[in-house]
Amino acid sequence: MSLVERYADAFDGSRQRFEIAKTLFPTGVTHDARMMEPFPVYINRAKGSKKWDVDGHELIDYFVGHGSHLLGHSPEAVVAAVQEQMSQGTHPGACHDLEIEWATWVKKLFPSAERVRFTGSGTEATMMALRLARLFTGRAKFLKFHGHFHGWHDYVTISSDPPYESASVPGVPAGVADCCVAIPPNDLNRVEEALKANRDIGAVILEPTGGHWGAVPIRGEFLHGLRALCTKYDVLLIFDEVITGFRVAPGGAQQVYGVTPDLTTLAKILAGGLPGGCLVGRADILAFIEPRAGKPKMKHPGTYNANPLSASAGIATLQQIATGEPSAKANTIARYLRNGLNELFAARNSPWIAYGDFSMIRVVPNYTGPRAMVATTENDGFVPLNGDVNALDGPKNTKHMHAVRQGMLLNGVDFWGYAGLTSATHSVEDADKTIRAFAATLELMAIDGIE
Ligand SMILES: Cc1ncc(COP(=O)(O)O)c(C=O)c1O
């Protein structure tokens, strides 16, 4: 049996559901990242580092709710808090105590948060950040980096996926696309050139540990340089910490690297696995949400802003995040996994490499370049392929990537193609099983002639 036949055979319950789903949804799935050949896996239940599919397989999970779980799936305190709130009402359509408590936790963990505004999602938070930046600076354009993902609204879709040099995205009006200047990451000279050449840039936005959560890692030196350039050219610096916030450290990448942005977008872990986001930052910038004499006001409604269920989950989560333990645990196990995978690749002489910072793990196939020493810090200090965004985060061979997923799933692991995120509940046993699953996957792929 070929790999794909084995997968189809073992995950037949998912296959049956996908046949129905195809008649309901374009692509058959409800999120682009869930597209998978020949069909995706359907999950019933999740707890800790594991999830269970409709055919009863136990899977070690590296999607962790698209990054929204750092405490693992269904932590008891979060479940209890949401159940309690559920009985009190899901939407009073009014101000409530939990929004105050939630924002107080955010401010405590993110000292740059002079003011907080809750949104329904991370996408809404980056949309708000850019609109407020336009109001505050009076300048229409912003600078972003190739491969940096900030949600799916029109302004930020430019250059978030390959081809990164393209100045347009189908469906985005030219006038909107023209507001975005996109350049490769990690090059301060290019940043300065862009800021000099485009005096109508009012803000720079980035994923502070690198686009697509660290596919091309960004580290402190670049962040400090960027902060200095933004100050020099009087441009706002926006950290999109939707993934990194509360994950890499309780106070996100800005805490780790000691760089203070003007605005920060947060979501995912913020709301403890429920929907929700927020924009935080300088009070004088968020003041444009307030009605003030002689100043424009940015309108900001949103049915689910500071929803009490999300607030209750967020508070229960941030209370634990504040100890620093969940970030430290997730970082440590991810490093263990990266090192273990690299040992496996070296032992088998396989053309693969694992890399990544904090709780993020990336693997690159067809790799024959230099190898990192065994990493001992959360920031591995090594970037393969000279950090070239097109080499590390360019167009994917989806057939190959899906073969990896099929092989991993057959061996009890749901790995996100060439990447994964850990939670504080991932154990050494999980990581060891994942390394064995990778070895078995490479064997299965080799039988099919896939390297
Ligand atoms: C860095 C980053 N920014 C923004 C977003 C958008 O957040 P949401 O999916 O909540 O709209 C994401 C989502 O994955 C993200 O990773």
**Tokens representing residue 376 in the block:** 């001992």
Q: Could you give the count of Cα atoms lying within 13 Å of 250 in the half-sphere of its Cβ? A: 17
Q: What is the dihedral of CA 175, 181, 182, 188, to 10 degrees?
A: -170
**Model pLDDT for residues 20-64, shown as the tens digit of each residue:** 999 999 999 999 999 999 999 999 999 999 999 999 999 999 999
**Model pLDDT for residues 56-114, shown as the tens digit of each residue:** 999 999 999 999 999 999 999 999 999 999 999 999 999 999 999 999 999 999 999 99
Are 327 and 246 in contact, with CB atoms under 8 Å apart? yes
Question: What pLDDT was estimated at residue 379?
Answer: 74
Identify the DSSP state of 114: S
Question: What pLDDT was estimated at residue 376?
Answer: 73
Q: Could you give the 3-state DSSP secondary structure of residue 313? A: helix
Q: Rounded to the nearest 10 degrees, what angle do helices 325-348 and 308-321 cross at?
A: 70
pLDDT (tens, 9 = 90+) of the chain, 451 residues, equals: 999 999 999 999 999 999 999 999 999 999 999 999 999 999 999 999 999 999 999 999 999 999 999 999 999 999 999 999 999 999 999 999 999 999 999 999 999 999 999 999 999 999 999 999 999 999 999 999 999 999 999 999 999 999 999 989 999 999 999 999 999 999 999 999 999 999 999 999 999 999 999 999 999 999 999 999 999 999 999 999 999 999 999 999 999 999 999 999 999 999 999 999 999 999 999 999 999 999 999 999 999 999 999 999 999 999 999 999 999 999 999 999 999 999 999 999 999 999 999 999 999 999 988 877 777 777 777 889 999 999 999 999 999 999 999 999 999 999 988 999 999 999 999 999 999 999 999 999 999 998 7
pTM, to two decimals = 0.98
Residues with CB under 6 A from ligand 1: 66, 121-123, 126, 149-151, 207, 240, 242-243, 267, 277
Ordered domains of the chain (ranges, CATH): 3-72+325-447 (3.90.1150.10), 76-321 (3.40.640.10)
CA 123 to centroid of ligand 1, rounded, Å = 6
Question: What pLDDT was estimated at residue 371?
Answer: 78
Q: Vertex 391, ends 388 and 396: CA angle to 5°? A: 145
Do you know the residue count of the chain?
A: 451
Identify the DSSP state of 375: P
Q: To test ligand 1's pocket by mutation, which of 157, 160, 205, 243 has the most ligand atoms within 8 angstroms of CB? A: 243
Q: To test ligand 1's pocket by mutation, which of 242, 304, 307 has the most ligand atoms within 8 angstroms of CB? A: 242
Question: What pLDDT was estimated at residue 378?
Answer: 72
